[in-house]
Chain A
Amino acid sequence: MYETNYHRASSVEDAISKMGSADDAKFVSGGQTLIPTMKQRLAAPSDLIDLRHVDSMKGITIDGNQITIGAATTHAEVNASKELRAICPAICDLAGHIGDPHVRHMGTIGGSIANNDPAADYPAAMMALNAQIATNKRTIDTDDFFTGMFETALDEDEIVTAVTFPAPAKAAYSKFPNPASRYAMAGVFVAKLKNGMARVGVTGAGADGVFRHEDMEEALKGDWSSSSIADCKVDADDLLSDLHADNNYRANLVKVMAKRAVEASS
């Protein structure tokens, strides 16, 4: 790792101000991607501004049907929340299967979606749950937030502060892990929303990162069953090929994981 300057932000405003006064700073939350990258000398920010201790960005709030998860909330906290599990068990289960215990106790939901790794789990859930991404500047619709591999709509001086979404009628996440990294090789989050819509978020497979599968959504809207999506086509041309799996295999996995998620949904 190259030398860097560490700053602990006390508030969102403090973080933004520290970002403005540093040379080439990066925000860090759980650091589960950034720190290993720095250790390999593949990233060398002059300053790190730590968001994990900003109280206003932590915790889970449930207001009727609305769920708000602070950006600095760890995966372990999401997994363990009884209140959240009572109305959206799918997101708790997803969080409980990210990485390993170390990652789950350090990594945060805000860090995960701001990094937008094409194989991360949370982006699929955000898409399927039709989440609103709150930042220090504005609220961004989830469909506008994820803009490509490791790309988001965030400005350089913009911080995700929380995510908000309505509790779904039914939802589940099913992923097939990459045998080596155990990131999602294909992960599908399906949600039957209380407004009657169905949404399907797909991670790990898309050549441009997370995406929604609208044919499946249409089929599931009419009939929430795995058989309803049996004839939906997953276009392999839009999917990733790498040494672990080609795009045809990933297309198959997307369909299989979607079916399994629908069958598991509650």
Chain B
Amino acid sequence: MSEGIGARVLRKEDKRFITGNGKYTDDVTNHGQCYAAFVRSPHAHAKVKSIDKSAAEKMMGVEGVFDGHQLTGDGIGNIICGWAVASKDGSPMNMGAWSALATDTVRYVGDAVAVVIADSPANARTAAEAVMVDYEELPVVVNAGEAIKDGSPQIHPEAANNLIFDWEIGEEAATDAALAEAAYVCEMDITNNRLSPNPMEPRSAVATYDASEEHYTLYTTSQNPHVARLVLSAFYQVAPEHKLRVIAPDVGGGFGAKIYIYPEEIVCLWASMKTNKSVKWTADRTEAFLTDAHGRDHITKAKMGFDKDNNIVAFKVDTIANLGAYMSLFSSATPTYLYATLLSGQYNIANIHANVRAVYTNTTPVDAYRGAGRPEASYLIERTMETAARELGVSPADLRRQNFVTEFPHQTPVIMAYDSGDFATNQDAAMKAADYAGFEARRTEAASRGKLRGIGMSSYIEACGIAPSAAVGSLGAGVGLWESAEVRVNPVGTVEVLTGSHSHGQGHETTFAQLINDRFGLPADNVQIVHGDTDKVQFGMGTYGSRSGAVGMSAIVKALDKVEAKAKKIAAHMLEADEGDIVIENGEVKVAGTDKTLGWHEVCLGAYTAHNLPEGMEPGLKEGAFYDPANFTFPAGCYICEVEVDPDTGKTEIVQFVASDDFGTIINPMIVEGQVHGGVAQGIGQALLEEAVYDDSGQLLTGSYMDYTMPRADDVPSYVVSHETTICPGNPLGIKGCGEAGAIGSPPAVINAITDAIGNNDLSMPATPAKVWAAIQASQTKQAAE
């Protein structure tokens, strides 16, 4: 059976995962290891008047108790935001200081003020409870819309009215003029609910300082260990890069939350030097809820204008984005360049203007979470399209179709240049799979059972493989967004692929190995994928934004090209043939049209014995490559959700979910389908179940699974998944990316289905039974009044 591109190869890594033999950060145990426990603020906003460590320092097993003044005194730098977004008046963003341990002010519940290092987790925690912090409580604001009003509590001195930036994209005057001329304007008030990321494995760090070498090693739950090392070195001054090794071993899910470099890793590294002990910290679930960067949290007003023939003429968007108490690493890019640049959706829209105000509040920092900006854009556009169709009295499918972009490349008014796609074919496939035409009969049948049945569509587009580096640099990014790879062929012909991508559930060990199989015909078992260790892989930008396929694998392909070229040269020399006649297939190296053949391993051994190499050739068979994409990639698709609502309780059941996606070339369809299943489940979670809720005093009410509703198996349906492929012209494999699409495309499909079922467009996420029931009551009251 083929193990090449397009084959459903079972995941190599699952053997260790499902037998409990994965090696995660918390599994790392060093001799004499100590444990960190953080003293965290119980207040959402307070002055720290004093910290009394004396009782804790005397407690059993305690190696040290440290506060923020000691940390900054040792020269550890403030936590940075890595993407500078300027306001529309040209002024730089108003970023407040974020010290890994707060010194003077705490700004959200969970903000760390001190750390205890002790010989056991229990002793550390007990001593942390004995650290006496004297707080003077300050007024609190948690809602971004409230935070920018005059007179609201001031969270950072640098940001007047808590405004970080007031940014815009597109032409406002032209958009306003087009709206004024429009035959019909659809107006929407949309809230995108705040989410807790909830990777199964909580964040963890094990830091070890070797005093004799002045060298640090950090095991950490990271999606991008090289970026972590760069930031820890260049900005936090923990250690220079060559004196810091960062290892992200098996990582149990990231979803964005493990991109960032958090206070805990910085503190563990620093504390390992202070105590000369290996220091471990693993978040408990409460700490995960309180401190893992949250996602989404937008408040938006939007207007979409149509001409008399129902063509879209303008889209105007005004968004307030809640960034929480501090600016996390990519918090500024998420609600701007990853959001407003996608506001054209799949549609021809001549005029778009978006204004985004980013705001501090006394809540957990907010940053990219699976989809990052694109779910917010897609939800806004697709709810607006469906609502407009209902108000215009036309088919939602037809309204979309007549406005689809059909010619590529297509330049939108908001930076993006779509390179490929076939949106109508996606829609056709989804409508056929969903039996869209037969829906009304199903609605009638459901009504006979007392159920309200509804159908909703979402035609999403997103952007992956954020690039090219020069372009993102010009937009304010502090890093390049290329990827690196190195292919090491061993003398016996087995292959090690070192990649800067990082797998935390994606299945890279399988998918990447399929590239080698496809190229040389080697079985996947002869290939080892190496990632996640800065001492092994030279550099890499990591995995997020569905970039490992489009960017990471492209780098591997470039390295493979070099390996193949050299192997052919060697083989041609050994076989006394012309280099152009050499073919490599099924593990053999042949001269085309002859019976002259060498085993792959013979060529590899020849490269290393160097007994018979072409004149002047270096021995060995190892090649590296860096790949910087020329453009984003644009996965797109059509999702159709069908629901039944129990009018007595407001409970929604998803009775059908159809996904038709265009991900470009697919390497392993099984893994891609799994990505869609997981992404859609997360999207259903956002649409029906999940919300991080604060009370007015800034306490997180959803700080455990007793109150935060994670999707469970019985909350989600069986999915009908298919692919309608157009090849991405921008990278050698034609890949677009699949990691986030499900979470981006599904929420509007679900809400459009429920609002169709209940006859009320005024419904916010999560559409809990209580909210849906109230919306049904409201529409009944309205109908009765009419």
Residues of A whose CB lies within 8 Å of any CB of B are 1-2, 40-41, 176, 179-181, 243-246, 248-249, 252-253, 256
B703 to chain A, nearest CB (A): 10
- CB < 8 Å: which of B122, B125, B648, B705 contacts A181? B705
Interface centre among A179, A181, A246, A256 (most CB of B within 10 A): A179
**A179 and B648 within 8 A (CB):** no
**B709 and A245 within 8 A (CB):** no
**A179 and B709 within 8 A (CB):** yes
Residues of B within 8 Å of A2, CB to CB, are 126
Q: Does B363 contact A (CB under 8 A)?
A: no
8 A Cβ contacts from B396-440 to A: none
Residues of A within 8 Å of B705, CB to CB, are 180-181
**A244 and B649 within 8 A (CB):** no
Roughly how many angstroms separate A245 CA and B770 CA in the complex, as a whole number?
Answer: 6
**B770 and A180 within 8 A (CB):** no
Q: Does B729 contact A (CB under 8 A)?
A: no
Residues of A within 8 Å of B286, CB to CB, are 40
Roughly how many angstroms separate A252 CA and B776 CA in the complex, as a whole number?
Answer: 13
Q: Does B689 contact A (CB under 8 A)?
A: yes
Q: Does B135 contact A (CB under 8 A)?
A: no
Q: Does B520 contact A (CB under 8 A)?
A: no
8 A Cβ contacts from B677-707 to A: 689, 693, 701-702, 705-707
At the interface, is chain A mostly helix, strand, loop or mixed? loop
At the interface, is chain B mostly helix, strand, loop or mixed? loop
**A249 and B774 within 8 A (CB):** yes
Interface centre among B126, B649, B702, B710 (most CB of A within 10 A): B649
Roughly how many angstroms separate A246 CA and B770 CA in the complex, as a whole number?
Answer: 8
Roughly how many angstroms separate A252 CA and B709 CA in the complex, as a whole number?
Answer: 22
Residues of B within 8 Å of A176, CB to CB, are 649, 651, 769
B746 to chain A, nearest CB (A): 18
Q: Does B608 contact A (CB under 8 A)?
A: no
Residues of A within 8 Å of B651, CB to CB, are 176
Roughly how many angstroms separate A253 CA and B651 CA in the complex, as a whole number?
Answer: 11
Roughly how many angstroms separate A179 CA and B708 CA in the complex, as a whole number?
Answer: 9
**B707 and A181 within 8 A (CB):** yes
8 A Cβ contacts from B283-340 to A: 286
Roughly how many angstroms separate A245 CA and B701 CA in the complex, as a whole number?
Answer: 14
Q: Does B639 contact A (CB under 8 A)?
A: no
Roughly how many angstroms separate A20 CA and B126 CA in the complex, as a whole number?
Answer: 28
**B707 and A243 within 8 A (CB):** yes
Roughly how many angstroms separate A180 CA and B649 CA in the complex, as a whole number?
Answer: 16
A79 to chain B, nearest CB (A): 19
Q: List 25 A-B contacts (CB under 8 A).
A: A2-B126, A40-B286, A41-B129, A176-B651, A176-B769, A179-B689, A179-B709, A179-B769, A180-B702, A180-B705, A180-B708, A180-B710, A181-B706, A181-B707, A243-B702, A244-B707, A244-B770, A245-B768, A245-B769, A249-B650, A249-B770, A249-B773, A252-B648, A253-B649, A256-B648
- CB < 8 Å: which of B122, B125, B649, B709 contacts A256? B649
**A243 and B701 within 8 A (CB):** yes
Q: Which residue of A lies closest to B701 (CB)?
A: A243
A97 to chain B, nearest CB (A): 13
The 5 closest A-B pairs by CB, nearest first: A180-B709, A245-B770, A249-B770, A181-B706, A179-B709
A249 to chain B, nearest CB (A): 4
Residues of B whose CB lies within 8 Å of any CB of A are 122, 125-126, 129, 286, 648-651, 689, 693, 701-702, 705-710, 768-770, 773-774
Roughly how many angstroms separate A249 CA and B649 CA in the complex, as a whole number?
Answer: 8
Roughly how many angstroms separate A180 CA and B773 CA in the complex, as a whole number?
Answer: 18
Residues of A within 8 Å of B773, CB to CB, are 249, 252
Roughly how many angstroms separate A2 CA and B129 CA in the complex, as a whole number?
Answer: 12
Roughly how many angstroms separate A179 CA and B129 CA in the complex, as a whole number?
Answer: 33
Roughly how many angstroms separate A250 CA and B706 CA in the complex, as a whole number?
Answer: 18
Roughly how many angstroms separate A219 CA and B422 CA in the complex, as a whole number?
Answer: 62
- CB < 8 Å: which of B122, B648, B650, B707 contacts A180? B707
A-B contact count (CB 8 A): 46
B356 to chain A, nearest CB (A): 28
- CB < 8 Å: which of A1, A40, A244 contacts B768? A244
A236 to chain B, nearest CB (A): 13
B325 to chain A, nearest CB (A): 21
Residues of A within 8 Å of B693, CB to CB, are 243
Residues of A within 8 Å of B689, CB to CB, are 179-180
A256 to chain B, nearest CB (A): 5
B142 to chain A, nearest CB (A): 13
Q: Which residue of B lies closest to A40 (CB)?
A: B286
Residues of B within 8 Å of A249, CB to CB, are 650, 769-770, 773-774
Roughly how many angstroms separate A249 CA and B650 CA in the complex, as a whole number?
Answer: 10
Q: Which residue of B lies closest to A179 (CB)?
A: B709
Roughly how many angstroms separate A180 CA and B688 CA in the complex, as a whole number?
Answer: 11
Roughly how many angstroms separate A181 CA and B703 CA in the complex, as a whole number?
Answer: 12
Roughly how many angstroms separate A244 CA and B773 CA in the complex, as a whole number?
Answer: 12
**B769 and A180 within 8 A (CB):** no
B412 to chain A, nearest CB (A): 38
Residues of A within 8 Å of B769, CB to CB, are 176, 179, 245, 249
Q: Which residue of B lies closest to A3 (CB)?
A: B122
Roughly how many angstroms separate A243 CA and B693 CA in the complex, as a whole number?
Answer: 8
Roughly how many angstroms separate A200 CA and B360 CA in the complex, as a whole number?
Answer: 50
Q: Which residue of A lies closest to B693 (CB)?
A: A243
Roughly how many angstroms separate A10 CA and B499 CA in the complex, as a whole number?
Answer: 61
Roughly how many angstroms separate A246 CA and B771 CA in the complex, as a whole number?
Answer: 10
Roughly how many angstroms separate A246 CA and B707 CA in the complex, as a whole number?
Answer: 15
Residues of A within 8 Å of B706, CB to CB, are 180-181
Residues of B within 8 Å of A244, CB to CB, are 707, 768, 770
Residues of B within 8 Å of A243, CB to CB, are 693, 701-702, 707
Given A176-B649, A180-B707, 4 more pairs with CB closer than 8 A: A181-B706, A244-B768, A245-B768, A249-B770
Residues of A within 8 Å of B702, CB to CB, are 180, 243
Residues of A within 8 Å of B774, CB to CB, are 248-249
Residues of B within 8 Å of A179, CB to CB, are 689, 709, 768-769
Residues of A within 8 Å of B768, CB to CB, are 179, 244-245
Roughly how many angstroms separate A176 CA and B651 CA in the complex, as a whole number?
Answer: 10
B771 to chain A, nearest CB (A): 9
Q: Which residue of A lies closest to B689 (CB)?
A: A179
A181 to chain B, nearest CB (A): 4
Roughly how many angstroms separate A252 CA and B710 CA in the complex, as a whole number?
Answer: 25
Roughly how many angstroms separate A86 CA and B773 CA in the complex, as a whole number?
Answer: 37
Residues of B within 8 Å of A256, CB to CB, are 648-649
A98 to chain B, nearest CB (A): 15
Roughly how many angstroms separate A57 CA and B238 CA in the complex, as a whole number?
Answer: 61
A100 to chain B, nearest CB (A): 10
Roughly how many angstroms separate A248 CA and B286 CA in the complex, as a whole number?
Answer: 31
B336 to chain A, nearest CB (A): 30
Roughly how many angstroms separate A41 CA and B693 CA in the complex, as a whole number?
Answer: 23
Roughly how many angstroms separate A90 CA and B631 CA in the complex, as a whole number?
Answer: 63
Roughly how many angstroms separate A30 CA and B770 CA in the complex, as a whole number?
Answer: 32
Residues of A within 8 Å of B710, CB to CB, are 180
B124 to chain A, nearest CB (A): 13
Residues of B within 8 Å of A180, CB to CB, are 689, 702, 705-710
Roughly how many angstroms separate A178 CA and B286 CA in the complex, as a whole number?
Answer: 20
Residues of B within 8 Å of A1, CB to CB, are 122
Interface centre among A181, A249, A253 (most CB of B within 10 A): A249
Q: Which residue of A lies closest to B706 (CB)?
A: A181
Residues of A within 8 Å of B126, CB to CB, are 2
B562 to chain A, nearest CB (A): 53
Roughly how many angstroms separate A179 CA and B648 CA in the complex, as a whole number?
Answer: 16
A246 to chain B, nearest CB (A): 7
Q: Which residue of B lies closest to A260 (CB)?
A: B648
Roughly how many angstroms separate A242 CA and B406 CA in the complex, as a whole number?
Answer: 49
B39 to chain A, nearest CB (A): 14
Q: Which residue of B lies closest to A181 (CB)?
A: B706
Interface centre among B693, B710, B768 (most CB of A within 10 A): B768
Roughly how many angstroms separate A45 CA and B650 CA in the complex, as a whole number?
Answer: 42
Q: Which residue of B lies closest to A248 (CB)?
A: B774
Q: Which residue of B lies closest to A249 (CB)?
A: B770
Q: Which residue of B lies closest to A186 (CB)?
A: B649
Roughly how many angstroms separate A181 CA and B709 CA in the complex, as a whole number?
Answer: 8
Roughly how many angstroms separate A243 CA and B650 CA in the complex, as a whole number?
Answer: 16
